Amino acid sequence: MSFPWAKPYEPTHPLMKWMDEKLPIPRLVYNATGPGYPVPRNLNYFWNFGVLAGAALMIQIITGIVLAMHYAANASVAFNSVEHIMRDVNAGWFIRYAHMNGASMFFIVVYLHIFRGLYYGSYKAPREMVWLLGVVIFLLMMATAFMGYVLPWGQMSFWGAQVITGFFSAIPIVGEPVREWLLGGFVPDNATLNRFFSLHYLLPFVILGVIILHIWALHIPGSSNPTGIEVKDEQDTVPFHPYYTAKDGFGVGVFLLIFVALTFFSPNTLGHADNYIPANSLSTPAHIVPEWYFLPFYAILKAFTFNFLWIDAKLWGVIAMFASIALLFFLPWLDSSPIKSSNYRPLYRIFFWILVADVLLLGFCGMQPAEQPYVILSQLGAIYYFAHFLVILPIVSRIERPLPMPNSITEAVLAKHATDTSSASATA
Amino acid sequence: MVRPLGFLVGLGFITALVLAIFTTPLSNEANVAHEFHKHPRHLKLASDGIVLPHWDKAQLQRGMQVYKEVCSACHSLNLVAFRNIADLGYTEGQIKTFAKGFQVPSINPDTGEPATRDGLPSDYFPSPYANETAARAANNNALPPDLSLITKAREGGKDYVYSLLTGYQNPPANLPAELKPGTGLHYNPYFANLNLAMAPPLAKGQVTFADGSPNDVKNMAADVTAFLVWTAEPKLIKRIQVGYAVFFFLLIFTVLTYLSYRNIWADKKH
């Protein structure tokens, strides 16, 4: 366990003692999310998003298992089986809309979780492994979400599968055979739908496994915190339970309120009308657009329009799109600054917010047709995206002069309260 | 090692993008159809929004009558069963009689030959054509789409459907020749490429309503659109009602969790 003052698990009830000797699961839970896990006392609300992502995954797994009881993964009936769920299954419309919007909520909280990590330097030593596993989870989520979107077998399902598996055909020589192997045919069809269903059911449990590793790796150094200063003594921490279980409970409440508002009052806002048209391989929709959570990457893909060197534009786009995620694996080594929190990094902080704006811009461009000015905007956005991680960040972390930092978490907390009370008495 | 390599990779992507910027024309190809295309007009229905929406059953019944007497000549409604129209306020007996008015595909129990029989409440609205080929043959090679989900399956939803039904007009004088409706096509600025194969389906006074409601094109279009909002999502009103209950339950839950959070942290500066 991480800190010497962590409260030890001491079962008193004979049954719990017996259990602890045979299979110490209660001990594991106690030390992982109970009073046995000391956590910095100064975490802000951005530290809620890990738990929220876990809650979102559980919602997806539960609603997904129920949906799979009624869904039929066959190209001739898949579309109608979804409508059967919407119309005839008891509360099927709720389960299906919850699963559909649950995916969006999952991505919202994971994106906030990732940007929290970027702002507060959570990817830095000693937490590189936590970050790397997080990127693996993100990639698995993207694969799962993509395959899930194919299952209703609407027009956007079909054409999305066509476009995304088409990326592989950009690879020279082996590309086309690889694509046919992935699809199990020349176009998305029954073989594709069946394997996507199988993998869509499998991957969430793989994600669950990697999440366990992610939390395990986190518990070795312990959670980071908004100051980026490592925990020094017991004063700096509070036990996870009840302090953060209570705070996360409130976070889950707010999360569920937003989730429920979306699911019940506006369930189709984040979807596409075209996906209520059954898949038709002979009719291409006017605009093929992925789900919103893929839009920034889709914009990067489309930004490459020039055959540069011996690589054609399509392959550039595909490589760049994969690279835009893969570079996150190298982030702990691209940023050499020892300061974690951007609160003390005046220069990096500016570029961080530019990156946030840039990703939003790319997302906006991703849903537009291939017309000006959206093409040039996504090109500029993609330039900044790569420049940020591969050029600016390594340079900034070398030349930046950090702001003065407190000596410990407790000092930072007490200093904050001192200014709060003095400004409060000044206004009074 | 990571940083110099990353720098080179970054330069590669950035160079490719800068070259892409300078080789992509800044002007778009003119899309003339865009100028004539119109955004759908808003249609207000009782089932709109989240503030006490409800089904206007009289309107849905009129809408179903319009569907039956007009639309069903070409368009199927294959996700809706006769039993479902209980939502519209029909009694069991009325549904049985209504279903009986339709002939559904069947098999002759004596010969095994394809046959038809009277509809039952458990049957779905039958398609007007035996198959897609028959539908295309009868419609100048255009395929009339199934209407069950039409208000969810088009950008603009019900507004689009209503605007399309009421939007037929003579092509404007300045319409370029290549955009003029060809043989068998009809000009409608709400349709994506301006000309569609469906002839104006509604004419003033075409349907006579039992309740004496006005039957000009606009009213019939509004009625049938309301009906198609119901066919697309029969659980819409229930969804919003349940939503309120769930939302307020969770609101109380969230307030309680907030209070317990404040209580637990009361003695801890953070």
CB atoms B152 and A276 under 8 Å? yes
Please give the structure tokens belonging to residue B255: 């307030």
Q: Which pLDDT score is estimated for A428?
A: 43
pLDDT at A299: 94
DSSP 8-state code for residue B75: -
Measure in Å the smallest separation between the Cα of A300 and chain B Cα atoms: 10
Shortest CA gap A43–chain B (Å): 8
Separation of alpha carbons A402 and A410, rounded Å: 20
Q: How many residues does chain B have?
A: 270
Distance CA B235, CA B238 (A): 5
How far, in Å, are A91, A216, A265 from residue A86 at the CA level?
8, 39, 16
* A413–B13 C-beta distance less than 8 A: no
| CB-based contact A400:A347 (threshold 8 Å) | yes
- Cα within 13 Å of Cα(A27), Cβ side: 15
State the best of A84, A264, A284 to mutate against chain B, taking most chain B CBs within 10 Å. Answer: A264
The pLDDT profile of chain A, 428 residues, written as one tens digit per residue, is 468 888 999 999 999 999 999 999 999 999 998 999 999 999 999 999 999 999 999 999 999 999 999 999 999 999 999 999 999 999 999 999 999 999 999 999 999 999 999 999 999 989 999 999 999 999 999 999 999 999 999 999 999 999 999 988 888 889 899 999 999 999 999 999 999 999 999 999 999 999 999 999 999 999 999 999 999 999 999 999 999 999 999 999 999 999 999 999 999 999 999 999 999 998 899 888 999 999 999 999 999 988 877 788 889 999 999 999 999 999 999 999 999 999 999 999 999 999 999 999 999 999 988 888 899 999 999 999 999 999 999 999 999 999 999 988 888 888 888 876 665 555 44
Cα separation of A276 and A315, whole Å? 32
The alpha-carbon gap from A411 to the nearest alpha carbon of chain B, in Å, equals: 11
At B105 the three-state DSSP class reads strand
By the CB < 8 Å criterion, does B51 face chain A? no
**CA nearest to A108, candidates A360, A382, A395:** A360
Q: Dihedrals φ, ψ of B37, to 5°?
A: -70, 135
State CA B8 to chain mean position distance: 51
Per CB-CB distance under 8 Å, the chain B contacts of A83 are: 79, 148-149
SS3 A238: strand
> Tell me, what's the pLDDT at A79?
97
The token pair at B66 is 């319009």
Helix boundaries (H) for A230-345: 245-265, 295-303, 313-326, 331-334
Cα-based distances in Å from A28 to A13, A31, A33, A409 = 17, 5, 8, 27
CB contact under 8 A, A336 and B3: yes
Task: Inform me whether the C-beta atom of residue B133 falls under 8 Å from chain A C-beta atoms.
Answer: no
CA–CA distance, A58 with A386 (Å, rounded to integer): 34
Chain A residue with CA closest to B8: the answer is A390
What φ, ψ does residue B214 adopt, rounded to 5°?
-60, 140
Q: Do B20 and A83 count as a contact with CB atoms less than 8 A apart?
A: no
What's this model's pTM, rounded to 2 decimal places?
A: 0.94
Q: Do A260 and B250 touch (CB under 8 A)?
A: yes
Using alpha carbons only, how large is chain A's radius of gyration in Å?
24
Whether the CB of B181 is below 8 Å from some CB of chain A: the reply is: no
Please name the member of A261, A333, A380 whose beta carbon is closest to the beta carbon of B2: A333
Distance, CA of A396 to CA of A392 (rounded, Å): 6
Any A CB within 8 A of B148 CB: yes
Residue type for B221, please?
Answer: A
Q: Does B250 touch chain A (CB under 8 A)?
A: yes
What's the rounded Cα separation, in Å, for the pair A254 and A257?
Answer: 5
CA-based nearest residue to A385, from A422, A427, A354:
A354
Residue A184, phi-psi category: left (phi > 0), alpha (psi -120 to 50), beta (remainder): left
Q: How far apart are CA A105 and CA A362, in angstroms?
A: 20
Is residue B152 less than 8 Å (CB to CB) from chain A? Answer: yes
User: Smallest Cβ distance to B234: which of A87, A261, A330?
Assistant: A87
Q: Rounded CA gap, B87 and B61, in Å?
A: 10
Which residue carries 């208000």 as its tokens? B151
Q: How far apart are CA A56 and CA A109, in angstroms?
A: 8
Chain B residues within an 8 Å CB radius of A390: 6-7, 9-11, 13
pLDDT of A422: 61
First-to-last C-alpha distance (Å) of chain B: 40
Residue among A241, A386, A393, A421 with most chain B CBs within 10 A, to mutate: A386
How does pLDDT run across B18-60, given as a tens digit for each residue? 988 888 887 777 777 788 889 999 999 999 988 899 999 999 9
Measured distance between the N- and C-terminal CA atoms of chain A, rounded to whole angstroms: 46
Structural tokens at position B257: 């969790």
CB contact under 8 A, B250 and A253: yes
CA dihedral for B16, B21, B23, B29, sign (positive or negative):
positive
Q: Check CB contact under 8 Å for A376 and B26.
A: yes
Cβ count within 10 A of residue A261: 16
Catalytic residues of A: 219, 223, 247-248, 291
The amino acid sitting at B53 is P
Look up residue A356 and give its DSSP letter.
H
Nearest to A394 among B3, B153, B250 (CB): B3
**What part of B 82-111 touches A (C-beta under 8 Å)?**
84
Output the six-digit token pair for A344: 């003390």
- Determine which of B159, B164, B270 to mutate to test the interface with A (most A C-beta atoms within 10 Å): B270
Torsion of CA B134, B137, B140, B141, to 10 degrees: 70
Chain A and chain B share a number of CB contacts under 8 A equal to 170
Per-residue pLDDT of chain B (270 residues; tens, 9 = 90+): 888 899 999 999 998 899 888 888 877 777 777 888 899 999 999 999 888 999 999 999 999 999 999 999 999 999 999 999 999 999 999 999 999 999 999 999 899 999 999 999 999 999 999 899 999 999 888 899 999 999 999 999 999 999 999 999 999 888 888 888 888 899 999 998 898 999 899 989 899 998 889 999 999 999 999 999 999 999 999 999 999 999 999 999 999 999 999 999 998 877
Bridge partners for B117 per DSSP: B104
Q: Which residues pair with A308 in a beta bridge?
A: A311
